Structure 1
Amino acid sequence: MRDKIARLFTEHYAFGLRHNTEEGAKSWAIRQVIEKLNCTEEEVLESIERDESKTFTLDKKNDYEVKAINRNYLTIFNDYINNLLDSNEVMFEDVEDIKKSTLDLGSKINISDELEKFSIKGLVLGDIQSGKTTNFMALTSLAFDLGYKRVIILTGLLEDLRVQTLNRAKSALGHPDEKVQDNYGGWMHFLSKGINFPTKNGDIKKDTFHNNQANEIQLKNIWIIKKTAANLKKINDYFENVRSVFGNEGNDKPINFKTLIIDDEADQASLESSGTKTDKSVVSKTYEQITKLATVFPKCCYIGYTASPFANLLTDKDRTSHNINLYPDDFITVLNPGKYYTGYQKFLEISENSKYSMIPLKTEEIENLNSFFKDRKAKLSDNEVFKKAFQRFIISGSILKLRELNEEVRINKVKTMMINIHHVNKNQDEIVKVIKELIKYYSDNINNANIEKEFETIFYKEYSEINEYSWIRVWEEIKNIFLYEKVKIVIKNSSNGFADENNAEFQVWVGGYKLSRGMTVPCLLTSIFYRNTKMADTLMQMCRWFGYRTEYIDLCKIFTSEIILDMFFRVFSSFENLKNDLREMNERDLTPEQIQIKIEKFSNGMKPSSLNKIKGAIEVNKVSFSGRNFISTYFKDDHTNEYNLEKTKNFINQNNVYVKNKYFKIYENISYNSISGFLSELKLPEVSNKNLSHIKEKMDKIKLNKEYFEKWKVVISTNIKDNNGTINLREFNINLSSKSVFSENIKFDEKLNLQTFRLKSILTTSLENFEKKSFEDSKNDKFFKSTEKAKIRTMKDGPVLFIIFSKIISKNDEEKVFLKIAPTIAMIIPKNEDPEFQEKYDNPFYINQSSGEII
């Protein structure tokens, strides 16, 4: 009976993984077994515990297969790329990179129109103000060529951002300026694409369905809406109406059109952020509506875009709504910023080479700000930082203006100073008063010799390395700014509606929330930034001085505190490490479900994000250099697997068993050269060889401490019963595990003309978290008698090589064994004892422990 329970559970668990989290699949499978076999939950759990065949689990994928992109039919996408080239706003090499990365992303979502349903979830990481919008507009144009009829873009929470994105979309897809009535050719070219903008005249409204006629629903549609629960409910109601009016049977029904949801600023509002930690059935309203939107369409791809992904990666996967979560199970893509992007690395370099670019606030300036915001006893007009920053903005802007006049750089219609020091509107009003007084003072006294002397002193002290123009020329330009009233203030907050920021060449932007996320600040020369936050993602988003500022980066000035500067560098250093880990994941052809994503812990009590958004996070105080490493793709060919089997048996038979029981055969003190030689002899597909090369490269680095790294363990897993057959290893037999593979995970290696199969190679917690004491206990048959996840680590021991001999079963409509036996490989490489490596890698970090994932 136990074997029957275990077998039925395995089948249902495998199916459940294709549609749910691991925990959800397990719960569903248990219920199915209880119902079909009329057994108790205790009997099911006991059978599962005794069945060690699930050392590896199935690849959790939808039942779909992506198609190769036929580039001969990419008309809308090619138009978009050509428009980028013609605009001269993006460098040629950057356009090529956008094209390449978009095609790569498109290859992950190119699903046949004939498929009845699919669900894809991914995440795209970019840098702050690096051109994410340009990239997802490229994906939008490509999606239409790939047969998607509907793109829904969820913008931020502000109408400014929605309109900004709408205008970018219309421009990107060749929508002519509606003010130009005689642009007949432009209209004809645009209409030939058959693209409709249902929200071009405003956000979605209750009567949108009635206004959007049947013929428009059949067109390619781009919906651009604010990301609020109320708006999302309206669009969900709209498509429920579409379903009821037009039906849902057949691929020609509008509800069944392939749909792409692009979630801009995907870490804002989208994620589950309810206040309750225990009741997983309670979810936040916006999250509930987004998950509903992602399930309204049978054929849907949801892709989030963000430059601060900590919350997306640490969200609680078990907090599902409409039976899904928004964790990017299928892929995470890291975008490369353009060649002339100025981000963290550039500002780090600047801070090291110039003391006049990132200027710390003085103690009295900080005290003035703190006092003003606390009890209004201080006067902002007494704070010198506003005057200092404003003076440098005028000098930097004047030098840039001269560069433009001499055609040395592109003309920037607007030159900006940004002040972001408080989120309350009335406090921002006080800042505006101070700036207005400064503008009036300099406008009224610009011909005063003392005023000139003030500016001249700053020029020679802080701009001495910029010797392009004489002081006389710079001063003449400064005077022109004030004489011709070229300086205006733009208030960016919720109370002023839309501000016309195009009516002055020199602008001082004052704001809080609007300047803290998503808003593109043109030609930002000077910033005053003083916002207290304990959330890393919030701090990252406030860095609006990032962007494409190469032509004037030497003129940029940032006024902030030493503490904020320190947090700034720590957070972005962590982000760079995360991006490198994710790039390596993609190079190894792994998915987010196959690795443990680590986010470094920050100092000064800073958290990755709001605690309500990272309920899946757990802090871990020890870190392995490489952690879990899996060889997940193997050849389907029997001859190749027989070869690998013989090589594996020969390797094992050269060593003596250290511990043996009914669960494991464990070897100790295996040399690094022996391990490396064995791995090199295996015949593996190219993707696995690439993966193995990464692992061996890291192993070679860790080998700096030779004594530590020579002490390998080799663990051979054996099943409790011999249901799947046995294999003889010298003096004992190993009971085989069974591994199931669905047909969509069987691929064809064109280079070698052989088929391959892929497993989701995740070690069970019991295997992963063992140490020497557990092995000693296992001699008395105590090892793994309990299902309790013991708090034991491999970190004190040497690295471990796991070998699992498996019978591979093809799972489709019926079972069919297509491989007799295949050895499958996994490794745990713990931390290195070398101080140099400890300093770099032995730091506390966060991982996502929801759905049962444990490091």
Structure 2
Amino acid sequence: MIEEKYGISMGLGAVVDAEDFRPWLHDARINGEIGDFYWSRYRRLLNLKGLPKSVIDATDEVTDRVLDRLGDPKNMTPWSRRGMVVGHVQSGKTANYTGLICKAADAGYRLIVVIAGIHNNLRNQTQARIDEGFIGRDTGRLAHANKAQRQKIIGVGTFDQREFPVSLTNTLRDFNKATATTNTSQIGQYNVPVVLVIKKNSSTLKNLLEWLKEHSVHQGTQMVSQPMLLIDDEADNASINTAYSRDEVTRINGQIRELLSLFHRSCYVGYTATPFANIFIDPDTDDEALKQDLFPRHFIIGLDAPSNYFGAQKVFLDARDRHVRLIDDNEDILPMKHKIDHPVDVLPDSLVRAVRAFIVARAIRNARGQQASHASMLVNASRFTDVQGRLRSKVADVVSHIRDAVAVDGGKGRAALLQNPEIAALHAVWEAEYADAEGAGWSEVQARLHEVLVAARVVEVNASKRSQPLDYEQGGEHGVTVIAVGGFSLSRGLTLEGLTISYFLRNSMMYDTLMQMGRWFGYRPGYEDLCRVWIPADGVGWYAHIHEAMDDLQAQLKRMELAKATPEQFGLTVRSHPESLIVTARNKMGSGKELPVKVGLAENLIETTRIVLDSPQLEANIRAGEGLLAAAVKAGVLVVSRPRGYLLKGVRVNSIMDFLREYRTELGVRPVNPLTDPKLINDYIEARAASELAEWDIFIASSTRKDMKPLPFAGLDIVPYELSVDADLAKSGVLAFSGASRRIGSAEDESEGLEEQQITDAKEKFRLSRDDKKLPKTVNPRIYRQVSGRHPLLILRLVKPKLDATRSAGEDVEGVLAWGLSFPSSQIGGGTVEYVVNTIRMREMFGEEEIEEEALGDSE
């Protein structure tokens, strides 16, 4: 724990400012115009919670940066400010904006509105965090009429009770006009701040707008003349989230804009971990997004996660073997695609094993002295609330059987392993997962099983009437032990305290959806080694890939800070990111229109992950690759043997373009990856063919597996890579490869063509850019694309699809030629090409909308 507390660091992140930024905070502090009451209380609370001083200091500095970019509340002339803070999922964004609220209140902001998610459970949880960190009283108790209960002091209130902000919402209820009106007498002359935590819901926003208008009429202009801060938590949700109709999106967006316009002085700060959203990506035109009133035109700030952050890098890249377990037994029982009436008669063995792992892990945590801490398990395996209910029932049965077994035989020591199959199964999970864990001998685990199972609850968290609140306040000296079964509600902002085991069976390919569903990210002090994520193999690849995309955006933010770029320029950069194609098209999925998207390929890798399953075309593709190599050799290019294949350096661009024109991933209009469209790529290359893309390197990758038979290719013996393919798509005639990182190859492929010193220097630069200054096992291959003066790289690879899927589709494929294009940095202005996305085609490619049954309508 000493290392955890004192060996943790946190960077300050990057800031991209508008050209007219003028700081005011420093002078205001020197002039004594700003107090320190709310922030000093909150800082003491963070310290009491055990946060390292370096992290608290970094939070102090970052919240100062944000506050400095808000309007000066002492400036009485009308102003409005719009900004965005980009963090990581479960990395402490709520703690950050709670600190910002405290400092804004100290500076003189008198009305603060927090818009927190689209479900009651998230709004209630956020209210509780604001109660603890800013208000200092339990607003749920304040809402009761019993005066004896009215003064429950919590959190920051235990340090200093000279004043308390007024809350017009509480942990029990969202905003209500009648309740707010009865509290207006407390507002008085705005000597203390007024705060509201509301749901992102059009009817709630309508009520608030009506009340503010009525109240401002009755009270003159007193309220609307106050400086107002609006925090939009999960700012991308209900903006592009496809669970909402476009009308609902427009309504909520318009209501937020109207709310801001009511005040003469207002600030909007959107917090998000997934900035692929409509404030950046407007599917119609580039210009339209910049005109939007919520576009963060004044500032964008990137939050660095502390070095102890348990995120995608650790889970899916650095320590994948430790933390990730693959789900491969669900299709006959709970297929990825199922209907609302799908029965759940039994559970997949993998889910039963995950439940057992949770029980064992909780026992180990108790043995480590963490019994007062909370422990949670997440089960997110269906988008339908009805199916979630059936899952919850079956998981509860599993826990009940284990509880009964332990009650009967748990005290019999080693003999229980022979007499009771349930206890033997727990022992098998302990042996496979945790035998080497510190303080986790089987005898200690078995001795703790009874107390774990007595406390364990299995709850449903969704929009159904069966749903139960995740109440972590009831833990007491033993903490809460809970298995939460849910879907959409578990995917957005909701914090599962002490999350140890996750079982995730979803097939969404949307960046924002996948990242937000990553509730397993966060902080795991004292039990990180026990955390496990059960997930399908494809999901592992998508998360690793998405991590790289998000990492790219954070790095881009830092580069744009150094270049003194503006938020508008960063917005354009995000919108031209190749991965924004998916988000853009999905945002307009219902329209069936063709829409132009500008795509930038500099410093990106494009791969053929989807190819039509057609034998004549596959053979023609191999001939195109062999023809390319033959032409290069004829032109005098040498074929050099490398440890993992063969390298050709200095191939003329015309040969590369000829190959790309001949190679086909599709026939007719079959749906494949739009990024491998030959027109898109050739347009990009052609604009640079006479300069930075004039000469190419070609790497023919060959697997190092000893048990694979080599295949002949252009006179060379090439060992193919065996990769899984999507069985459903194979039946429909499309090979969809799923490699380890949703990539066909590995990061080190892109180092080919570089000198050893260049590779060493690139890795060192990457190491120094990381907060922990450590070089991870898997580096971001973008570092190789950024090496000055490097050639573009074409990677050719023979891939052997796993045969079951292709045979069921009527084909037996031995080797498929796949390619990857690794583009270096570009110095040519603009750097983008226009691509027209047909949304009907994208729907065929990525599937129908991921709409939760529970998210339809205003069910809450």
- Length-normalised TM-score, structure 2: 0.61
Structure 2: 5+ residue stretches without partners: 1-16, 142-148, 410-418, 605-648, 654-682, 694-785, 795-820, 837-860
Structure 1: 5+ residue stretches without partners: 1-58, 405-409, 627-703, 709-789, 801-828, 851-855
Instruction: Determine which of 527, 546, 553 is the counterpart of 2:502.
Output: 527
Counterpart-to-counterpart distance in 2, 1:848 and 1:296? 39
**What letter matches 1:598 in structure 2?**
V
Counterparts of 1:432-511 in structure 2, within 5 Å, are: 432-446=392-406, 447=409, 448-482=419-453, 485-495=454-464, 496-499=466-469, 501-502=471-472, 505-511=480-486
- The corresponding residue for 1:555 is 530
- The corresponding residue for 1:56 is none
**What letter matches 1:476 in structure 2?**
A
Aligned residue for 2:197, secondary structure, equals strand
Deviation at 1:298, TM superposition (A): 1.7
**What letter matches 1:229 in structure 2?**
S
Instruction: Determine which of 585, 590, 596 is the counterpart of 2:565.
Output: 590
Instruction: Determine which of 37, 42, 56 is the counterpart of 1:76.
Output: 37
- The corresponding residue for 2:356 is 391
Equivalent pair of 2:576/2:599 in contact (CA under 8 Å):
no
Deviation at 1:521, TM superposition (A): 0.6
Counterpart-to-counterpart distance in 2, 1:371 and 1:104? 44
Instruction: Determine which of 253, 258, 261 is the counterpart of 1:287.
Output: 253
Counterpart-to-counterpart distance in 2, 1:172 and 1:848? 47
- 1:254 to 2:223 alignment: yes
**What letter matches 1:835 in structure 2?**
P
- The corresponding residue for 1:265 is 234
What are the superposed Cα offsets for residues 607-662 of structure 1, whole Å, 9 maximum, x if unpaired? 46841499999544553459xxxxxxxxxxxxxxxxxxxxxxxxxxxxxxxxxxxx
Equivalent pair of 1:380/1:431 in contact (CA under 8 Å):
no
- The corresponding residue for 2:280 is 313
Counterpart-to-counterpart distance in 2, 1:387 and 1:185? 38
Counterparts of 1:564-713 in structure 2, within 5 Å, are: 564-595=539-570, 596-598=572-574, 606-607=582-583, 610-612=586-588, 619-624=597-602
- 1:238 to 2:208 alignment: no
Aligned residue for 2:56, secondary structure, equals helix
**% identical equivalent positions:** 22
Instruction: Determine which of 286, 307, 332 is the counterpart of 1:367.
Output: 332
Change (3 A) 1:563 1:172: same
Counterparts of 1:146-161 in structure 2, within 5 Å, are: 146-161=107-122
Deviation at 1:510, TM superposition (A): 0.6
Deviation at 1:106, TM superposition (A): 1.2
What are the superposed Cα offsets for residues 749-799 of structure 1, whole Å, 9 maximum, x if unpaired? xxxxxxxxxxxxxxxxxxxxxxxxxxxxxxxxxxxxxxxxx9998533548
- The corresponding residue for 2:740 is none
Aligned residue for 2:439, secondary structure, equals coil
Equivalent pair of 2:491/2:516 in contact (CA under 8 Å):
yes
Deviation at 1:293, TM superposition (A): 1.0
Counterparts of 1:306-455 in structure 2, within 5 Å, are: 306-311=272-277, 312-315=279-282, 324-354=292-322, 357-362=323-328, 364-370=329-335, 373-374=338-339, 379-381=344-346, 383-404=348-369, 411-446=371-406, 447=409, 448-455=419-426
Counterpart-to-counterpart distance in 1, 2:262 and 2:309? 39
Structure number with greater Rg is 1
Change (3 A) 1:97 1:412: farther
**What letter matches 1:439 in structure 2?**
V
Equivalent pair of 1:315/1:327 in contact (CA under 8 Å):
no
Tell me the matched-pair count: 589
Counterpart-to-counterpart distance in 1, 2:80 and 2:541? 42
Change (3 A) 1:473 1:833: closer
Aligned residue for 2:502, secondary structure, equals strand
Counterpart-to-counterpart distance in 2, 1:441 and 1:276? 43
- The corresponding residue for 2:689 is 796
What are the superposed Cα offsets for residues 788-811 of structure 1, whole Å, 9 maximum, x if unpaired? xx99985335489xxxxxxxxxxx
Equivalent pair of 1:263/1:304 in contact (CA under 8 Å):
yes
What are the superposed Cα offsets for residues 409-449 of structure 1, whole Å, 9 maximum, x if unpaired? x5553211111011222111211221122122222223234
Counterpart-to-counterpart distance in 1, 2:320 and 2:542? 16
Instruction: Determine which of 86, 95, 98 is the counterpart of 1:137.
Output: 98
Equivalent pair of 1:618/1:846 in contact (CA under 8 Å):
no
Counterpart-to-counterpart distance in 1, 2:444 and 2:602? 59
Counterpart-to-counterpart distance in 1, 2:549 and 2:160? 44
What are the superposed Cα offsets for residues 182-213 of structure 1, whole Å, 9 maximum, x if unpaired? 86999798664452111236322233563243
What are the superposed Cα offsets for residues 29-51 of structure 1, whole Å, 9 maximum, x if unpaired? xxxxxxxxxxxxxxxxxxxxxxx
Deviation at 1:81, TM superposition (A): 4.2
What are the superposed Cα offsets for residues 323-343 of structure 1, whole Å, 9 maximum, x if unpaired? 852111111101122232111
**What letter matches 1:593 in structure 2?**
E
Change (3 A) 1:181 1:578: closer
Aligned residue for 1:305, secondary structure, equals strand
Q: What CA RMSD, in Å, does the superposition of the two structures yield over aligned residues? A: 4.3
Equivalent pair of 2:602/2:823 in contact (CA under 8 Å):
no
**What letter matches 2:206 in structure 1?**
K
Change (3 A) 1:315 1:608: closer
**What letter matches 1:116 in structure 2?**
T
Counterpart-to-counterpart distance in 1, 2:482 and 2:241? 38
Counterpart-to-counterpart distance in 2, 1:586 and 1:161? 33
Equivalent pair of 1:292/1:321 in contact (CA under 8 Å):
no
Equivalent pair of 1:126/1:334 in contact (CA under 8 Å):
yes
Equivalent pair of 1:328/1:592 in contact (CA under 8 Å):
yes
Deviation at 1:104, TM superposition (A): 1.1
Equivalent pair of 1:619/1:845 in contact (CA under 8 Å):
no
Counterpart-to-counterpart distance in 1, 2:351 and 2:273? 30
Counterpart-to-counterpart distance in 1, 2:102 and 2:493? 22
Change (3 A) 1:182 1:401: closer
Deviation at 1:580, TM superposition (A): 1.1
What are the superposed Cα offsets for residues 163-186 of structure 1, whole Å, 9 maximum, x if unpaired? 211111121125134547486999
Counterpart-to-counterpart distance in 1, 2:822 and 2:196? 49
Counterpart-to-counterpart distance in 2, 1:454 and 1:396? 14
- The corresponding residue for 2:677 is none
Equivalent pair of 2:347/2:394 in contact (CA under 8 Å):
no
Counterpart-to-counterpart distance in 1, 2:788 and 2:597? 17
Aligned residue for 2:304, secondary structure, equals coil
- Length-normalised TM-score, structure 1: 0.61
What are the superposed Cα offsets for residues 789-846 of structure 1, whole Å, 9 maximum, x if unpaired? x99985335489xxxxxxxxxxxxxxxxxxxxxxxxxxxx999661369626589999
Equivalent pair of 1:310/1:537 in contact (CA under 8 Å):
yes
Equivalent pair of 2:137/2:154 in contact (CA under 8 Å):
no
Equivalent pair of 1:597/1:848 in contact (CA under 8 Å):
no
- The corresponding residue for 2:804 is none
Equivalent pair of 1:417/1:527 in contact (CA under 8 Å):
yes
What are the superposed Cα offsets for residues 716-746 of structure 1, whole Å, 9 maximum, x if unpaired? xxxxxxxxxxxxxxxxxxxxxxxxxxxxxxx
